[in-house]
Structure 1
Amino acid sequence: MSLSALIRNIIKQLPNGKTFGYDDLRIPKERYTSAAKALERLQKEDLIKKISKGVFYKPEKTIFGTLEPNYNELLRPYLFENGKRIAYETGTTLYNRLGLTTQMAFRTKIASRGKRINIDRKVLKADAVKSYAEVDDKNYDILGILDAFKDIKRIPDSSVGQAIVRLSIILNELNPKQIESLVKYALVYPPRVRALVGAVLQNNDYQGKGLDKLKDSLNPLTIIQLGLEDSELPTKNNWYIE
């Protein structure tokens, strides 16, 4: 089967609205030039449409016209490289999904360790931020939660106390393996994150060894000023938080 026929066959099997790139088509890099010509022909036939360099989608046609992919599909190609996750969405957009704020952001933030991902395309607008750890499919949810602890004083329409209540619920819903991951990655975040995670876990009656690791990582002479009341986080004094 020719490369052109192979590409056409793969695309036929994709659902409408699905975004894809060269990796999804299983094309070796040495054949990218030939593949580009085949994809160009498919665009002329209106079987696919181009989103950005190397990123396409199979359009869904309705009586109202051609529909673009939904937001998550538009974003997906920027979060993966060679089939592996390298980035995740963070900031106000994420905090809205986590139930920490009702506000929506005009621009989102994309966190990645080794790549700056800025997007400015119609409804998709994002600014690059550096993640605190290498991102993969197993840890990006945890990193997002830790980002919320980091930004706790800057979450729109939410006081620190309100955010603590919601984050306590989120942490209480994590399984033991996720808690281990939370502690592991919290240790690479700033002291206020380590302290807050430790205080919330302790307040949730967590008694794992992770608490000792978090506590030992803190400087007892450094007081973290957050303006929290004892009623909002009863364990805060154990973690040098005021």
Structure 2
Amino acid sequence: MALATEIRKKIKSFPEGKTFGYDDLHIAKNDYITAAKALERLKNQGAIKKLSKGVFYKPEKTVFGELKPDYSELLRPYLFENGKRVAYETGTSLYNRLGLTTQMAFRTKIASRKKRININRENLKADAVKSYAEVTDSNYEILGLLDAFKDIKTIPDCSIAQAIKRLSSIVNELNTKQTEVFIKYALMYPPRVRALAGAVLENLGKTPKGIEQLKESLNPLTTINLGVKKEELPNQSNWYIK
């Protein structure tokens, strides 16, 4: 089957509004020139639209005209490299989706261990931050949750009490394996995150494997100042929090 025919067939299977690049089409690097010509023809025919260099999308057609991909799809190409996730969205836009704030972010943040990803394209604007661990498809959601623990004092329009209540609710929904992964990566974060993560788990009545490591990683002579009241986290003193 000719490469152009293969490309057209693959694109036809994509849903409208999906962004894609050469990796999504599984094109070998030595076929890029031929593929570029095929994609250019499809663009000229109106079957696809170009979003940025090497990134395209299938326009969603409605009675009101063609729609661009939604925000998450516009962001997706920047989060993957060679088909593997290397970054994730964090900051206020993530905390909004987690139910921690009603504020919307004018600029989002993209966390990655390996590269700095800054975006300034029309409505898509993002600043790079460094993640605390290598980012994968299996851990990025936990890393985003731990970022919320880290930023608990600065989440817009969210008090410490509200944040603890919401974060506790999210942690309570984690299964055993997810909880162990949560602890594994919490150990890579600053002491305030380790302390708060341990306190929340303990307060929920959870005693997962590894929770003792969180406790042992803390310096008992160092107080974690979060401005947490006793009624908000009854076991705070067990984790050197005040």
The residue matched to 1:89 in structure 2 has which SS?
strand
C-alpha distance in 2 between matches for 1:69 and 1:117: 20
State which drifts further: 207-216 or 229-238.
Answer: 207-216
State which drifts further: 114-123 or 212-221.
Answer: 114-123
| Deviation per residue, 1:105-162 (Å, 9 max, x gap) | 1111111110111112222211111110111111111111100000011000111121
C-alpha distance in 2 between matches for 1:62 and 1:213: 54
Alignment coverage as a number of residue pairs: 242
Maintained 8 Å contact 2:180/2:209 = no
The residue matched to 2:111 in structure 1 has which SS?
strand
C-alpha distance in 2 between matches for 1:7 and 1:59: 16
> What is the CA distance between 1:65 and its match in structure 2?
2.2
Residue of structure 1 equivalent to 2:121:
121
Q: Which amino acid aligns with 1:33?
A: I
> What is the CA distance between 1:215 and its match in structure 2?
0.6
> What is the CA distance between 1:12 and its match in structure 2?
2.1
Residue of structure 2 equivalent to 1:23:
23
C-alpha distance in 1 between matches for 2:160 and 2:96: 15
C-alpha distance in 1 between matches for 2:8 and 2:130: 37
State, as a whole percentage, how many aligned pairs show the same letter: 71
Residue of structure 1 equivalent to 2:46:
46
The residue matched to 1:115 in structure 2 has which SS?
coil
C-alpha distance in 2 between matches for 1:73 and 1:64: 20
C-alpha distance in 1 between matches for 2:221 and 2:209: 23
> What is the CA distance between 1:188 and its match in structure 2?
0.4
Residue of structure 1 equivalent to 2:62:
62
| Deviation per residue, 1:157-215 (Å, 9 max, x gap) | 11112111111111111111111000000000000000000111111111233221001
Maintained 8 Å contact 2:203/2:233 = yes
C-alpha distance in 1 between matches for 2:96 and 2:3: 44
> What is the CA distance between 1:91 and its match in structure 2?
0.4
Q: Report whether the alignment pairs 1:11 with 2:11.
A: yes
Unaligned runs of 5+ in 1: none
TM-score for both structures, normalised by structure 2: 0.96
- RMSD, aligned CA: 1.2
TM-score for both structures, normalised by structure 1: 0.96
Residue of structure 2 equivalent to 1:181:
181
The residue matched to 1:120 in structure 2 has which SS?
strand
Maintained 8 Å contact 2:153/2:160 = yes
Maintained 8 Å contact 2:179/2:208 = no
Residue of structure 2 equivalent to 1:151:
151
Residue of structure 2 equivalent to 1:89:
89
The residue matched to 2:89 in structure 1 has which SS?
strand
